[in-house]
């Protein structure tokens, strides 16, 4: 069963966004871009590198370059368990 986004964030995953620049198979002088986004673990980025390997094996357009950004959405200091609430009028 796939983990929810919140479960992934609590396990240390962050949102990784990559822009892949690739050449058209028939027009090598034309560069296109493709945006990929998933939750991944820094600094190894296993999901990103798995996608890049998939691209190189299955997609005809050769990669020119890849740039990416990673953002941890929940850090340990931001998440806490609340046992009660107090209301002030």
**Quick one: pLDDT at residue 41?**
94
Q: Give the residue among 46, 40, 44 at the shortest CA–CA distance from 17.
A: 40
pLDDT greater than 70 at residue 28: yes
Average pLDDT over residues 53-68: 94
Separation CA 57–CA 51 (nearest Å): 10
Average pLDDT over residues 52-58: 96
Mean pLDDT of the chain: 86
pLDDT greater than 60 at residue 53: yes
pLDDT greater than 70 at residue 87: no
What burial class does residue 30 get, using C-beta atoms within 10 Å of its C-beta: 0-12 exposed, 13-18 middle, 19+ buried? exposed
């Amino acid at each position: 069963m796939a983990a929810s986004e919140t479960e992934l964030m609590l396990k240390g995953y962050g949102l990784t966004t990559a822009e892949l620049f690739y050449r058209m198979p028939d027009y090598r002088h034309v560069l296109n871009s493709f945006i990929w986004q998933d939750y991944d673990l820094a600094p190894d980025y296993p999901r990103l590198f798995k996608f890049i390997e998939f691209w190189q094996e299955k997609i005809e357009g050769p990669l020119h370059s890849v740039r990416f950004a990673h953002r941890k959405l929940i850090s340990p200091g931001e998440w806490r368990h609340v046992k009660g609430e107090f209301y002030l009028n």
